[in-house]
A and B are shown apart, each in its own frame.
Chain A
Amino acid sequence: MTTADQLLNAAGLRKSYGPTPALDGADFTVGPGEVVAVMGPSGSGKSTLLHCLAGIIRPDSGAVHYRGRELSAMSDAERSALRRSEFGFIFQFGQLVPELTCTENVALPLRLTGMGRREAEKRAAGWLERLEVDDVRHHRPGQVSGGQGQRVAVARALVTGPRVIFADEPTGALDSLNGERVMQLLTDAARDTGAAVVLVTHEARVAAYSDREIVVRDGRVRDMAGAL
């Protein structure tokens, strides 16, 4: 893979929480539009890798480049702005703001970029329709099922038209059918919009929606594409 193909590139990431290293020299690359599964046992540093890649936390050492810009050289405000406009996020649970309606939750990232409420909610409604949850538009997250909530979260991750979507165990709290559906909708939408997906999961069936997988073990990354 040449550098031109690289959307997101991490080299030699190290990050410790206290005395235990969560990442111990991790390297990783994502190309445009690529769906990459990040696998590995619990506590191997999968989520830490994702947080470093997304610029949520700064690695102790090593560098993350997004489209040629080094994230750790950016200020907190710049990284926040980057996350608002270029990245989307999906987590396992507890990510929707409980007091906002589903539409408002989806519109949230747009409003963070300064878009007006009306326009933001119009776009949000479009995405909810596309993810087949427009019937719960005016419900609060507490009033919808887990699968519906997760689709709302997917809509929210996609609404800004991000180049990278970070998904941390997006189906972790769902049953098989809902999990499959969410993965299908997510990968279809990502493919249509050309967004890359970094998918942290420990489930092979979920990872099977990816184009390739990497394995994080003891804070190091093993790129299985290179191994074969």
Chain B
Amino acid sequence: MSIGHTLLGILETGPRHGYDLKRAFDERFGHDRPLHYGQVYSTMSRLLKNGLVEVEGVEPGEGPERKRYAITDAGVTDVAGWLGRPEKPEPYLQSTLYTKVVLALLTGRDAGELLDVQRSEHLRLMRELTQRKRSGDLADQLICDHALFHLEADLRWLELTAARLDQLAREVRG
């Protein structure tokens, strides 16, 4: 999971102080593992260096938490590219996929689109596994089945999540 893309995505919804950024991240994505301040500062400085964010203003006082960050056009393009790119299908992708769905909805993008692309990617792997299963021996079949079921489970979870969050987002917006 890419913390940089996630923070960028959060910034796309509006400029924030470093402290706000951490809180927003923890609230939505860091249930089990809150972000260190250090991680926020180092990521921000990397993004600043790559021109994906800019410092919009500084509050009086000391420390990076006083800085107010904003996303640049390059940063928005970078987020879009990341969201549109399917993850390599593998089991237990949920935290990344979840982050992507939430960010897509947060930034007003179509989660269904993301889902279709990801499903297609999953299916490509699943086709390969199915093919291998059909030509392989029993051990192959069992291993492939395991992978297939997990991939399918992830897809179904993703579909359900997208549907639920979409509904939630509509309720929040509406």
Q: Which residues of chain A have a CB within 8 Å of any CB of chain B?
A: 37, 39, 41, 184, 203-205, 207-210, 213, 215, 217, 222, 224, 227-228
Contacts and interface: CB of A to CB of B under 8 A. Distances in A.
Interface stretch (B30-38, B53-61, B73-81, B145-153): B145-153
Name the prevailing secondary structure of the A interface residues.
Answer: mixed
A227 B123 CA distance: 14
Given A184-B134, A209-B130, A204 B120 contact: no
Nearest to B113: A222
Contact of B152 (A37, A205, A210, A213): A205
A205 B126 contact: yes
B2 to A, nearest CB: 22
A207 B120 CA distance: 10
Interface in B64-106: none
Given A205-B126, A208-B129, A224 B148 contact: no
Contacts of A217: 112, 116
A165 B62 CA distance: 71
Given A184-B134, A209-B130, A213-B123, A204 B151 contact: yes
B117 interface: yes
6 closest pairs, A vs B, by CB? A208-B126, A224-B120, A208-B130, A204-B152, A205-B152, A204-B155
A207 B123 contact: yes
B109 interface: no
Contacts of B119: 39, 204, 213, 215, 224
A39 B118 CA distance: 13
Nearest to A211: B127
Contacts of A213: 119-120, 123
23 contacts: A37-B123, A41-B159, A41-B163, A184-B134, A203-B152, A204-B123, A204-B151, A204-B156, A205-B148, A207-B126, A208-B123, A208-B126, A208-B127, A208-B130, A209-B130, A210-B127, A213-B119, A213-B123, A215-B119, A222-B116, A224-B116, A224-B117, A224-B120
A204 B123 CA distance: 7
User: Among B123, B155, B163, which residue has the most Cβ atoms of chain A within 10 A?
Assistant: B123
A204 B130 contact: no
Contacts of A37: 123
A40 to B, nearest CB: 9
Contacts of B134: 184
A210 B117 CA distance: 17
A198 B60 CA distance: 66
B122 interface: yes
